[in-house]
Structure 1
């Protein structure tokens, strides 16, 4: 069974059950309508419906095609319903990033303060299946990274690097500019971890192998671990094409099961996927694996500590559809874990969140330009809208400065 919308093709109910089904929340939808209009006013967003064509006065526009379904979803699922309504084609915006950025900037004022405590009572909570046990972590990583190497190749640059670039004078809109910025990011992290000739390096979270290749070209011996079979296979191919198979060993392995000691450990945008329950295990593993005198280089998305604490139990659209099991840490939370669980301490930090916004813009534009190839790979229109919303949602997070990204170097205390 499928549902239809005048703005999107039919939604496959077997593949997208909660997008195809509009929740039965008639009474609460009335309250959601009032709160939705309050939120739009507070954020300076123009809610446009039907034949409404009044001037927007420069305000970002949220075009409502199906008000009834939109508010029922909002009432039943909060931000999950907001995203599912977009996937269903019930609303859109001529500039989605600007709209989401404005909403993010006004996040604390969208709900009247007397009602804010009720969010924790009325909105969905994380299911137990969201925990990153060994089997859960494998399932969560596969959910995202094993979609298709060909899909990621459609919007990433030639380095196949799926994390924030570090732009210097490079033009973000130039494909080679993004590639050079990714290489700069990798080199800066390797420099911080003192990776060079003879270094035995452990990489936790392989990606598609670019960091391992660049480290090996410095003369390092690299062990890289991932839970994604698709990433492992393509990373091994890329390592072989670079003629570095003897220097790089890519393994399908949980970070908790890695043995030995290493001169340096690097991990790029991995801690966000670990989950708060397993931060102690992650930090203890870093401490156990790095040799005396060695360094750890992390790249992590971060958020302000108070916001992290307030959102730690939330179950969001991002958890449900894109990154199950994760939580973006604060630098304070990382410092607390290091102090309690290790002899490591932060010795250097570099934040570059605006670079992540620019990185995501390039990815989003490349993904949009590859719409036909995405369909040829077997991904339907609902997936395409989900992925576009995900990229725009993240870009808005960095543009609004609700989230940031940092390179963090750790050494023995």
Structure 2
């Protein structure tokens, strides 16, 4: 079913990444850095974490056996970035190597596990004062949506091929339940687990011979290929030119060009009627303001008796409400315009604004933690190949921080991922 990745030119735009070598300066920065240092030091004293400075100073839990260690090399630069950008500055200081960690995921997991507590204290109040507003250009209207998608997904097909498995699936796999989240899950298990995830969605949407299937968010084509192999007629829409190119090449190589049509199109512009709609981890890129439009579009396109199957990363509802207007490191560096919903938000929006009803819900967060671990291990082992594509060491640290940050969220239970099945309310 899967076909090799066709080489592409790496899209490396140095102007797209801020120069993290430049440390914030000025009177305002000095004042904010002093406050940030006091608050950060006070906050980590209560965490199961060792914060070690190069001069030997230790904060956190110096006596806790096995506590993960965060090592701060340039305290003044770290506190300056923290003071001016808070959570964004925290991530940027890692990119600049102001601090390092032997086990980055473990360090980030401590912060994720205590996010609610930290957010309600001085740390949260300080960050609220220092989080910048989301740029208007990242609002996911029809003018900006394609640029937001391109920022991430058009980096380079070759880059993604370095750490994804042969299916080129860039979403949570579904491992066998007894193995989910366990170290025993290895690279050789990943492709089968990705196909298991896809097949479950197609099964729940009752995709088979003659099904008119709409896929919102093509990825690199694996779901469309597996649906076509069942005899479905597939229309798949994406805003990524690189994903469209490779997906079409894979479809043609598999002999399904007569069954699969990949279109460079905003989901809001799709017309027609479909027996099934499937969308895998696409809603996170839609934007908070556009969730009703997203579900109304699915409702509009779904034929009588049809089903929709959606896989979505989710946040606890209270955390979603608290962060819905935040502009974070992930927005700035990885997914501009994105936002993660809660289960309650999805249920409320579909009940209020559409004729859709949630029929089933299935959680697979442990599988995502394992998926991300495998991606991070694979990516970290391919330094020379990443560099050969034109990506520098700062980019590598950024990508590793993103993968570990995401994995920490799932291991802490701060994030989950759900498969939703919808039909129409009778």
Q: Is the 8 A contact 1:45 1:59 kept in 2?
A: yes
Partner in structure 2 of residue 232 of structure 1: 244
Aligned counterparts, 1:262-273, within 5 A: 262-273=274-285
Residue of structure 2 aligned with 1:247, choices 259, 266, 270: 259
Structure 2 residue ranges without an equivalent (≥5): 1-12
Q: Is the 8 A contact 1:61 1:95 kept in 2?
A: yes
Displacement of 1:135 after TM fit? 2.2
Displacement of 1:313 after TM fit? 0.3
Count of residue correspondences: 402
For the aligned residues, what is the CA RMSD?
1.7
Partner in structure 1 of residue 140 of structure 2: 132
Partner in structure 2 of residue 396 of structure 1: 408
Displacement of 1:115 after TM fit? 6.2
Partner deviation per Cα, 1:284-317 (whole Å, 9 max, x = no partner): 1000001010000000000111110000000000
Displacement of 1:175 after TM fit? 2.9
Partner deviation per Cα, 1:89-128 (whole Å, 9 max, x = no partner): 1111010001100111011233662664453333212121
Displacement of 1:42 after TM fit? 2.1
TM-score by length of 1: 0.94
Q: Is the 8 A contact 1:18 1:84 kept in 2?
A: no
Judged with a 3 Å threshold, the aligned counterparts in structure 2 of structure 1 residues 13 and 34 are, in CA distance, closer, same or farther, namely: farther
Displacement of 1:17 after TM fit? 3.1
The 4+ residue runs of structure 1 with deviation greater than 6 A are 169-172
Partner in structure 2 of residue 21 of structure 1: 22
Deviates more, 1:29-38 or 1:84-93: 29-38
Q: Is the 8 A contact 1:43 1:110 kept in 2?
A: no
Structure 1 residue ranges without an equivalent (≥5): 1-11
Residue of structure 2 aligned with 1:208, choices 217, 220, 229: 220
Aligned counterparts, 1:114-133, within 5 A: 116-133=124-141
Partner in structure 2 of residue 156 of structure 1: 164
TM-score by length of 2: 0.91
Counterpart of 1:89 in 2: which secondary structure? coil
Hey, what's the Cα distance between the residues in 2 that align with 1:269 and 1:112? Answer: 29
Displacement of 1:19 after TM fit? 1.1
Partner deviation per Cα, 1:327-377 (whole Å, 9 max, x = no partner): 100111111111122110000000010100000000000000111100000
Deviates more, 1:390-399 or 1:337-346: 337-346
Residue of structure 2 aligned with 1:382, choices 394, 408, 413: 394
Hey, what's the Cα distance between the residues in 1 that align with 2:16 and 2:259? Answer: 42
Displacement of 1:243 after TM fit? 0.7
Partner in structure 1 of residue 10 of structure 2: none
Partner in structure 2 of residue 4 of structure 1: none
Partner in structure 1 of residue 417 of structure 2: 405
Q: Is the 8 A contact 2:274 2:306 kept in 1?
A: yes
